[in-house]
Amino acid sequence: MSAISAEEAFQAYEAVRHRLPDVAPSEQSYRQAETLEPLADDFDVFLLDAFGVLNIGETAIPGTRERIETLKAAGKTVLVVSNAAGLPHAALMEKYTRLGYDFAAEDVITSRATLLAGLNGKRGFHWGLMATRDAGLRDLEGLELTYLEEDPAPYAAVDGFLMIGSAAWTEARQTLLVAALRDRPRPVLVGNPDIVAPREHGFSTEPGYFAHRLADQTSVSPEFFGKPFTNIFDLAFKRLGPVDRSRVLMVGDSLHTDILGARAAGVASALISDYGFFAGADTAAAISQARIVPDFVVNQP
């Protein structure tokens, strides 16, 4: 678990704005609400982030399951759109079931799936993999992969790098990766653009944290899959089919991923203020500083 604070995480996102979608700063005002309930009549589709909306770490957020059930009973479509790359899809679905959620597998859109959909002509590559062995390789069986650990040989040998899970990543491994890319630049695909994720006792550092650092230290520009980049929204809209984007609401806890991503995708957004990234923080000040303005600030789902 990282000792990084919410303020430090916020400033880390601000420092890499040049790599995030180029959306004009906004001066619009936002509406405030206690929950999503008063917004229900305005939208047909609700896209929910996971961390900060469904759960904090391994703990479900109180009231979210009931809110989802109410929205579905009212005829609303509810999808999860999450930068969850570290777990295979089946394992992620098992986690949501443990937390009390009842989602169809096709209604959970992840950055892991977005990365896999974006490989295209790179499927013949031998990839060095940033991931936790315990998570397993389901979803990835068709790829030639070598885990990146303490042996420097794979860093030199592979054709490119996939950054999907950083729970087991270390500074020693990061040093090996940076050195390998300085010696021979190669593609770096990032399956989770998050810099941090909120957990029960602070923030964890995520693949985006390490990807932006290597971008600062090498000539390589990583390719990101997931919020705030529109590729994950493209996958969500492929699942939805024809839909009026003015009737779609992205709900999340992060200005720089959920809200910026929603604006880049042309959909409305609601920032959760009492859980996740901004729990206990000054949400209004952060919005003013970043000039990433949601349509709504909602205390809890």
pLDDT digits (tens, 9 = 90+) for 143-164: 999 999 999 999 999 999 999 9
Q: In whole angstroms, give the CA distance from residue 186 to residue 70.
A: 48
pTM (2 d.p.): 0.94
Looking up tokens 């109180």 gives 62
Q: Does position 64 have pLDDT exceeding 70, yes or no?
A: yes
159-216 tens-digit pLDDT: 999 999 999 999 999 999 999 999 999 999 999 999 988 777 778 899 999 999 999 9
Please give the average per-residue pLDDT across 239-259, as a whole number.
96
Question: Which tokens in the block code for residue 112?
Answer: 């892991």
Q: Does position 135 have pLDDT exceeding 90, yes or no?
A: no
Number of other CB atoms surrounding residue 104 within 10 Å: 8
Structural domains of the chain ordered from first start? 28-113+227-298 (3.40.50.1000), 122-224 (3.40.50.1000)
Q: In whole angstroms, give the CA distance from residue 250 to residue 228.
A: 11
Q: How confident is the model at residue 3 (pLDDT cuts 50, 70, 90)?
A: low
Q: Which residues contact 10 (CB under 8 A, 6 or more apart)?
A: 255, 256, 286, 289, 290
3-state SS, the chain, equals CCCCCHHHHHHHHHHCHHHCCCCCCCCCCCEEECCCHHHHHHCCEEEECCECCCEECCEECCCHHHHHHHHHHCCCEEEEEECCCCCCHHHHHHHHHHCCCCCCHHHEEEHHHHHHHCCHHHCCCEEEEECCHHHCCCCCCCCEEEECCCCCHHHHHCCEEEECCCCCCCHHHHHHHHHHHHHCCCCEEECCCCCEEEECCEEEECHHHHHHHHHHHCCCCCEECCCCCHHHHHHHHHHHCCCCHHHEEEEECCHHHHHHHHHHHCCEEEEECCCHHHCCCCHHHHHHHHCCCCCEEECCC
pLDDT number for residue 1: 44
